[in-house]
């Protein structure tokens, strides 16, 4: 019976209220999976995604392992909770029964006190007692356990759980289909030898906390022939070097692929404050004891290994800015945890592409390289002097080859360029073998790419860009926004970092930037150093085409610089 049917029956038979309540309470305990409700609404994609490699990244107590273990219970038993009946992809149940694997940090410190209680039907998980508290019983229903009891279904020797499948559904052709069998799930830990992770194919693998890269890859091999799925649920470490595994490999290979929408990957972000089981007052008290960096990690699952990035304020997803504190914050109940004020605003730097008005001047910035591809970006300047990056490109070969790439981008996007800027360091490099007086700038001039030399001041440029990244009090959004199609630029902004940045230890952070991932972020630094303004480019700027400088013509003519 559904909850609505139970309510109707009780209203019609009030004399059986206590009896029904007792039956429902016991039924919820023995078949908690049927009554499953999302503790964190952000976790819905854990169950709905069809990706083969899923990263569930979030703050502490954000329901990461809980959601993952509920997904395991569905996959092992074939029983879809009432709350997911309308949205759960049934094709994920086509392989029933399944072979599954759960890997955690420790068999004694994690498996016994944390993982197993989330699966055992007779174990309570949550805040308070089962009658009045907030939480749930273990997800594997009693009636599917092989032998009818946990003790019979779970092998202590082999650390393997057996759950029966007795599932049926009506297909698109109206025929009733049924599956019977026994699913198995083995439990391993990261401190075991790599050879323990070989063996038969796996339809489902779950990592509780970040695995070492060699174990992840071994588990990935186990899923290939049956097209199995891998889930990884963890909070990034808030101390450099505190993780069992290198954080960077997972960030680059899995997390970023999921954020970019690479087929087969999905990244799901969970915030601690969205967990309905937790008390908001307790979360606020916890936040008050953490630094800003720790809040981002412990509550939102941000990666601290990226804290050395130069433009740490740049965000691809939603963040919250406090105008009173003038910094990014983690709010609780709509207020800043630092100043307790409500003058806050959600912001992001990455936006979906939208039409650019023809009266917005365009500035092209290029960072040429003789031994690798040139980095090129196009920026629109709004009447309020905001900047929108609308396009990017990479090009190699001769100056003429680069010119063809530039022309293609500007033709496709119908960009009327008012000014072109070039990295001054590379632009003035000479090569007497190619001719007396030859420079890269002259080669580009001859090809029709006439550029002014940019100001390469690093420290002032970084400060100028950081000012553009801050949300403006008047407009409530940052002065720099980037089209989501500019993926090279976005990656560079999120990863360009200071050299040998250290969070703790004897060494002070160096005031020297790394060369890696520097090319595309340099484009906006050159532009910021040029003091961009609408009036400057729309009314007074010069554009260049070919070897002769020309004053720009009015926008309505459609001429391109």
pLDDT score of 223 more than 80: yes
Q: What is the mean pLDDT of residues 204-213?
A: 94
Task: With a cut of 60, say whether residue 308 has pLDDT above it.
Answer: yes
- Residue with the larger pLDDT of the pair 388 and 172: 388
Residue 552: pLDDT above 70? no
Of 72, 47, 48, 64, nearest in space to 206 by CA: 72
d(CA 509, CA 495): 16
Residue 471 DSSP label: B
Judged on CB neighbours under 10 Å (0-12, 13-18, 19+), 560 is: middle
pLDDT tens per residue across span 334-382: 888 788 899 999 999 999 999 999 999 999 999 998 778 999 999 999 9
- As a whole number of angstroms, the distance between CA 330 and CA 336 comes to 7
In this prediction, residues 301-327 reach a mean pLDDT of 82
Rounded CA separation 222/225 (Å): 7
Give the pairing of strands 229-234 and 204-208.
Answer: parallel
Both tokens of residue 288?
């008050």
Residue 532 predicted with pLDDT over 90: yes
Separation of alpha carbons 367 and 375, rounded Å: 5
- Helix (H) / strand (E) element for 155: namely strand 154-155
More confident site: 466 or 12: 466
Higher pLDDT, 149 or 236: 149
* Through-space distance between the first and last CA atoms of the chain, rounded to whole angstroms: 71
DSSP 402-451: HHHHHHHHHHHHT--EEEEEE-HHHHT-B-GGG-TT-BHHHHHHHTT---
- Percent of the residues in the chain that have a pLDDT greater than 90, as a whole number: 57
- The DSSP code sequence of 475-511 is TSSBSEEEETT-HHHHHHHHH-BBTT--SSSSSPPPS
Which residues make beta-bridge pairs with 345? Answer: 321
- Taking CA atoms, 538 is separated from 93, 282, 355, 409, 544, in Å, by 59, 54, 18, 21, 14
pLDDT tens for 495-531 read: 888 765 444 444 455 567 777 889 999 999 999 999 9
Measured from the Cβ of residue 268, the count of other Cβ atoms closer than 10 Å reads 23
Count of C-beta atoms within a 10 Å radius of residue 267: 24
Peptide bond into 97 cis (omega under 30): yes
18 versus 77: which is more confidently predicted? 77
Placement of tokens 């139970």 in the chain: 6
Residue with tokens 């009506």: 170
Residue 81, pLDDT score? 95
Question: What percentage of the chain carries pLDDT values higher than 70?
Answer: 87
Name the DSSP class of 513.
B
According to the model, what pLDDT value does residue 127 have? 81
**pLDDT value at 80 more than 70:** yes
User: How far, in Å, CA of 348 to CA of 175, rounded?
Assistant: 49
| pLDDT-based confidence at residue 546 (cuts at 50, 70, 90) | very low
At 238 the pLDDT is 59
Question: pLDDT at position 243, please?
Answer: 43
Strand pairing category for 99-104 and 374-381: unpaired
The predicted model gives 42-62 an average pLDDT of: 94
Measure the CA–CA gap between 523 and 482, rounded to whole angstroms: 13
* pLDDT tens-digit readout, 392-405: 999 988 889 999 99
Average pLDDT over residues 159-171: 81
pLDDT at residue 15 greater than cutoff 60? yes
Residue 110 predicted with pLDDT over 70: yes
DSSP symbols for 169-224: EE-TTS-EEEEEEEEEEEEEETTS-GGGG-SS--SEEEEESPPPHHHHHHHHHHHT
3-state secondary structure of 107: helix
304 vs 344, more confident: 344
CA–CA dist 276, 274 (Å, integer): 6
Q: Residue 545: pLDDT above 50?
A: no
The full DSSP string for 309-354 is BTTTT--SS-EEEETTTTEEE--BTTB-TTT----EEEE-SEE---
Q: What is the pLDDT of residue 544?
A: 45
Q: For residue 433, is pLDDT > 50?
A: no
> CA nearest 442: which of 553, 377, 526, 368?
368
Greater confidence, 178 or 494?
494
Least confident of 8-17, 203-212, 301-310, 311-320: 301-310
Is 79 exposed, middle or buried, given 0-12, 13-18 or 19+ CB atoms closer than 10 A?
buried
pLDDT given at position 346 = 95
Mean pLDDT across the chain, nearest whole number?
A: 85
pLDDT (0 to 100) of residue 172: 64
Number of alpha carbons in the 13 Å side-chain half-sphere of residue 80: 15
Buried b (16+ CB within 10 A) or exposed e, 379-405: bbbbeebbbbbbbbbebeeebeebbeb
Q: Which of the two residues, 479 and 179, has the higher pLDDT score?
A: 479
Q: How confident is the model at residue 2 (pLDDT cuts 50, 70, 90)?
A: low
At 239 the pLDDT is: 53
């Amino acid at each position: 019976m559904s909850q609505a049917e139970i309510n109707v029956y009780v209203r019609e038979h009030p004399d059986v209220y206590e009896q029904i309540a007792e039956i429902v309470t016991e039924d919820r305990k023995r078949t908690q999976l049927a009554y499953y409700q999302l503790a964190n609404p952000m976790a819905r994609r854990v169950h709905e995604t069809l990706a083969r490699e899923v990263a569930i990244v979030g703050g502490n107590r954000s329901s990461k392992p809980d959601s993952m273990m509920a997904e395991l219970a569905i996959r092992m038993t074939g029983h879809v909770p009432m709350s997911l009946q309308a949205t759960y992809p049934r094709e994920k149940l086509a392989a029933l029964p399944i072979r599954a694997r759960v890997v955690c940090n420790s068999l004694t410190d994690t498996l016994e006190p944390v993982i197993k209680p989330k699966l055992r039907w007779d174990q309570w998980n949550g805040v308070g007692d089962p009658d009045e508290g907030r939480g749930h019983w273990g997800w594997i229903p009693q009636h599917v356990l092989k032998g009818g009891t946990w003790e019979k279904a779970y092998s202590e020797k082999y650390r393997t759980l057996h759950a029966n499948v007795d599932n049926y559904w009506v297909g698109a052709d109206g025929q009733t289909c049924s599956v019977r069998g026994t699913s198995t799930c083995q439990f391993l830990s990261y401190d075991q030898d790599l050879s323990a992770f070989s063996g038969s194919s796996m339809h489902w693998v779950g990592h509780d906390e970040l695995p070492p890269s060699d174990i992840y890859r071994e588990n990935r091999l186990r899923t290939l022939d049956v097209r199995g799925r891998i889930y990884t649920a963890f909070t990034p470490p808030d101390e450099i070097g505190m993780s069992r595994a290198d954080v960077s490999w997972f960030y680059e290979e899995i997390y970023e692929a999921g954020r970019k929408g690479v087929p087969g990957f999905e990244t799901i972000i969970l915030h601690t404050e969205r967990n309905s089981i937790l008390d908001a007052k307790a979360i606020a008290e916890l936040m008050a004891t953490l630094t800003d960096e720790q809040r981002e990690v412990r509550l939102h699952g941000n990666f601290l290994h990226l804290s050395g990035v130069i433009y740490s304020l740049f965000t691809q997803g939603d963040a919250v800015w406090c105008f009173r504190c003038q910094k990014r914050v983690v709010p609780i109940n709509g207020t800043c945890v630092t100043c307790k004020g409500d003058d806050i605003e959600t912001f992001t730097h990455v936006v979906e592409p939208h039409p650019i008005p023809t009266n917005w001047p365009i500035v092209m910035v290029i960072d040429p390289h003789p031994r690798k591809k040139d980095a090129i970006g196009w920026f629109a300047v709004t009447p309020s002097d905001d900047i929108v990056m609308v396009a990017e490109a990479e090009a190699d070969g001769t100056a003429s080859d680069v010119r063809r790439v530039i022309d293609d981008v500007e033709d496709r996007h119908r960009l009327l360029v008012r000014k072109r800027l070039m990295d001054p360091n590379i632009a003035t490099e000479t090569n007497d073998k190619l001719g007396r007086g030859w420079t890269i700038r002259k080669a580009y001039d001859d090809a029709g790419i006439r550029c002014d030399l940019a100001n390469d001041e690093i420290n002032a440029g970084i400060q100028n860009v950081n000012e553009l990244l801050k949300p403006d009090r008047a407009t409530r959004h940052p002065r720099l926004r980037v089209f989501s199609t500019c993926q090279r630029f976005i990656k560079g902004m999120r990863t360009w970092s200071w050299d040998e940045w250290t969070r703790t230890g004897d060494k002070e952070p160096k005031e020297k930037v790394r060369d890696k991932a520097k090319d595309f972020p340099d484009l906006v630094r050159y532009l910021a150093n040029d003091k961009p303004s609408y009036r400057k480019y729309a009314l007074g700027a010069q554009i260049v085409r070919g070897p002769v400088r020309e004053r720009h013509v009015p926008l309505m003519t459609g001429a391109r610089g």
